[in-house]
Structure 1
Amino acid sequence: MLNHKYEEALSNQIMIIESLQNEIECKNHKLMEMEHKHSETLAFVRKLVIGLVENINSKERSLLEMECKYHESLNTVQMNLTNKREKLHEECHKDLQMMKNINANMNHDMECLKKENKQLTKDLGESKALNDQQQKNFIGEIEKLKRVIGDQSHVGSDGHLNTQISTFKNQLKDKMEYLELVENLYSSLVVKEHQYRQELYDARKESINSLRDMFRVRSQLGIKRMGELDPKPFQDLCLQKYSGEQWQEISANLCSSWEENMKDPTWHPFKKIEVNGILQEILDENDEKLKGLRSECGEVVYKAVTNALMEIEEYNSSGRYAIAEIWNWKERRKATLKEIFQYIIRQLKTHKRKRK
């Protein structure tokens, strides 16, 4: 009985041991499968990591190449910009130097022209005075000759009279030759003065055409149309006298009618007076049209019309239409050529700074 129990117990122990062995084998088998899967996973991860590393290295190489190309391009662009900047600076410097030389030459030419014009004016005055004096002397000599011939015809012999007449004829011939020489000199001086005036006129005309679009709103110099009637005084007058929108039409018609009056070649509201022996032309305030304008429209409108009349008489009396002129707004006068050249130099310097 006891042995049977031992056998059962032993049998149970053997079964337990076998069960444990089976369980161990099963776990070993699972462990081996897990190790196999782990090895496969590890190999896959290693392969993936190697691929990622290669990809990263490739991208780093591409990035380095791109960075190198970027730096090369940047250096190229900087070099190009530097070269262009230096080239522009050199061109601006050359342009500025050229303008300075042109300005210096023009200033020199202007000074020479002024001196020549001054000397020419002086020579003209002296020649005119000399010519007038020679004419007076010539007339006096003729009168004297006539008196002498008249006296000699009564008291002298024929031979002596002929000698006297021959002498006076020679003197008269000398005077006529000298008078002709003076007149030729005077004509030559007049031609030279006309040439110098034409050169100055051409220089101003070219300046007006070239600078027409360069002047700014607040610039001291600008283009003014000499002889152009200012419509603002007419507008102010009609705005006070008429209500509603009617005043604008009345103002435009009134201003237009006076513009037509100014263009009329038969209307010349000026008179000549003598000042220090020189005839001068001034506005005739007793002109009927001007008197009517002053009484009907007032002093401001009258002043606007008379100012335009004086300008058109000074600048274009033959054509009687407005012409452009470079004007010094600050000092309310025509700009000198020196001021025009100084303005051009300032604009070039400003343009040079902006290009930098």
Structure 2
Amino acid sequence: MEKQQFSVGDSSGETSETKKSECTEEKFVWPWVGLVANIQTEVDKTGRRVGRSGSTFRDELIEKGFDPTRVQPIWNFKGHSGFALVEFTRDIKGFENAMNFERSYKSDGHGKKDWEKGVHLRDDDKPYGWVCREEDYNRGGIVGKNVKKKRDLKTLSQLQEEEERKMVQLVENMSQSIEMKIISKQELEHKVDETSRVLESVELHNYQLNETYKQEVEKMHANLQGLYQQILVGHDKSMSDLETEREKLENRARQIYINEAGMEKSRLEIEMNQKAMMEQNEANMEAMKLAEKHQKEKEKLHEKIMEMEAKLNETQELELEIEKLKGSTNVMKHMAGSDGDAELMEKMVKTQMELEARETALHDKIMAVTQKERMANDEYQEARKEMIQLWKENEDLVSGEKIRVKTMGHLDTKPFVLAVKKKLRCSEARAGLKAMELCSFWEGQIGNVHWHPFKVDESDGIAKLVVHKNDLKLVMLKSDYGEELYNEVVRAKVEIVEYNPSGGYVVSEMWNLEKNRKATMEEGTDVMLKMRKKLVAMKNKRKRR
């Protein structure tokens, strides 16, 4: 950059003082300020002197081309002193404007020398003006005090040295800034490399998960095929055993041919055996059909799962691509912010458009997967409802099984009877009647959707329902009837909140009594096959009789 050169010009004239200044450099008041004297004032009604405002004077100087930043009238205890300070900008342009301001007044015979010679003592109402120097800075009185305020004395050489020092400092700061940006760019490139490695690791992990899933699906298909083969082998063995039995009966019939009673008995046994063979064959055929239907339903369900997994994989791939594009966009933004490359900005815009298109495609795929998942869930819930209805209709067949139908939100009357009997110390009949009334009351409270005696506790990082310790109803129940009845009411209310919070009425659910949780469809299917075998066995037993 070019150095600023300050030139005073011929403002001082060829006097003895000018010759002396050639040996001693002249000092100016800095920031640049001019002094205007002989400003006309008048006395107002209050007895104070007033004159033109600083803004009006400043506008006049601006019209003359001196561009002052502010004109500050000097006031004393009598009012306007007739002096004003004219402030200019701190740069070389401000110095040039200040010197032009001084030359203008000097050429008109109203410079500093004219003022000091006493020209103003004549009948002259025009102002005098000049640029403040050392003698103005050291002046006494109100004028010198205002000139000194927040200002200093400096030579042009000193100002030039300061400008050069500031320039050197600016260059050093810019160099440090450039070095910092280079370091930041290197760090961003390092982060991009790390992000790329992480994405590659995620892609590899996703590939391994897909391979594991395919292997598990193949293993499941193999197990189903083996089960189907076992059913066929069992059917063939049953037919072979029946055929062997039939041959034995026929041999026996031939042996007792001469005995009519024995022949009749053999004939009846043969007929019963043939009927049993036919019934067994029908039962086996139905079992095979049921197994085939169960296998087809499982295959259909697994096809839907595979399809949803494929959609999920596509979604994950899109998410990875979107993350890559976002990472590229962020890097481009940082790089564009550092040097403003137009080609890089255009590339960033294209990347942003591609990112928006990817996000739109991802949203469409997520919506499709969600819709299919909802349809599969509806089918699953419908099948579960049918299975629960079958359970209710055949309670005697599943009495010994661990999978049963449980009524969620239903109160057990035993704790009520024991609690009432313990509190009232009355007869069995009266305790039972009071317990029924109390149980009916709390069934109504459990079904009341507006009563919610719980709060969510996340103290251990897992959200779970806990009972409000200060719930008035539960506090009174526990105080009147004890801990056991309190726990029974809380259990029923928790089940209602979990399984039917909006309706508030009891619902049926297929339950695993052994593990105290909701039973799966596979567990229910296994019990259904057992139910089928019992039905076939009971039917065969009745026919034999």
TM-score interval, smaller chain: 0.5 to 0.7
Residue 179 of structure 1 pairs with residue 347 of structure 2 = no
TM-score (norm 2): 0.42
Aligned to 1:219: 400
Residue 102 of structure 1 pairs with residue 290 of structure 2 = yes
Rounded Cα–Cα distance in structure 2 between residues aligned with 1:114 and 1:297: 52
Q: What stretches of structure 1 of length at least 5 have no aligned partner? A: 1-70
How far 1:173 sits from its partner (Å)? 1.2
Q: Which of 530, 535, 545 does residue 348 from structure 1 map onto?
A: 535
Aligned to 1:284: 467
Aligned to 1:231: 413
- Asked if structure 1 preserves the Cα contact closer than 8 Å seen for 2:283 and 2:536, the reply is no
Q: Which of 209, 230, 234 does residue 389 from structure 2 map onto?
A: 209
Rounded Cα–Cα distance in structure 1 between residues aligned with 2:528 and 2:373: 23
> Kindly tell me: are residues 284 and 121 of structure 1, through their superposed partners in 2, closer, same or farther at Cα, counting changes over 3 Å?
farther
Tell me the amino acid that sits aligned with residue 344 of structure 1: M
Q: Which of 278, 281, 295 does residue 479 from structure 2 map onto?
A: 295
How far 1:305 sits from its partner (Å)? 1.8
Tell me the amino acid that sits aligned with residue 293 of structure 1: L
How far 1:237 sits from its partner (Å)? 0.5
Rounded Cα–Cα distance in structure 1 between residues aligned with 2:502 and 2:408: 14
Tell me the amino acid that sits aligned with residue 342 of structure 1: L
- Asked if structure 1 preserves the Cα contact closer than 8 Å seen for 2:276 and 2:540, the reply is no
2:508 is paired with a residue whose SS is: strand
2:456 is paired with a residue whose SS is: strand
> Kindly tell me: are residues 295 and 100 of structure 1, through their superposed partners in 2, closer, same or farther at Cα, counting changes over 3 Å?
farther
- Asked if structure 1 preserves the Cα contact closer than 8 Å seen for 2:322 and 2:358, the reply is no
Structure with the larger RCO, 1 or 2 (CA within 8 Å, 6+ apart): 1
Tell me the amino acid that sits aligned with residue 367 of structure 2: S
Q: Which of 524, 528, 533 does residue 337 from structure 1 map onto?
A: 524
Rounded Cα–Cα distance in structure 2 between residues aligned with 1:287 and 1:334: 31
- Asked if structure 2 preserves the Cα contact closer than 8 Å seen for 1:100 and 1:345, the reply is no
1:283 is paired with a residue whose SS is: strand
Residue 263 of structure 1 pairs with residue 447 of structure 2 = yes
1:294 is paired with a residue whose SS is: helix
> Kindly tell me: are residues 89 and 236 of structure 1, through their superposed partners in 2, closer, same or farther at Cα, counting changes over 3 Å?
farther
Rounded Cα–Cα distance in structure 1 between residues aligned with 2:310 and 2:470: 37
- Asked if structure 1 preserves the Cα contact closer than 8 Å seen for 2:279 and 2:540, the reply is no
How far 1:137 sits from its partner (Å)? 7.3
Aligned ranges 1:152-167 → 2 under 5 Å: 161=342, 164-167=344-347
TM-score (norm 1): 0.61
RMSD (Å) for aligned C-alpha atoms: 4.2
How far 1:85 sits from its partner (Å)? 6.3
> Kindly tell me: are residues 143 and 201 of structure 1, through their superposed partners in 2, closer, same or farther at Cα, counting changes over 3 Å?
same
* Number of aligned positions between the proteins: 275
- Asked if structure 2 preserves the Cα contact closer than 8 Å seen for 1:285 and 1:291, the reply is no
Aligned to 1:254: 438
> Kindly tell me: are residues 300 and 138 of structure 1, through their superposed partners in 2, closer, same or farther at Cα, counting changes over 3 Å?
farther
Rounded Cα–Cα distance in structure 2 between residues aligned with 1:299 and 1:125: 52
How far 1:233 sits from its partner (Å)? 0.8
Q: What stretches of structure 2 of length at least 5 have no aligned partner? A: 1-259
Q: Quick check: 324-333 or 302-311, which moved more?
A: 324-333
Aligned to 1:307: 491
Q: Which of 278, 283, 303 does residue 90 from structure 1 map onto?
A: 278
The C-alpha deviation readout for 1:87-145, integer Å capped at 9, x for no partner, is 464144213332243135415634763696599589759958975x7887787777777
1:326 is paired with a residue whose SS is: strand
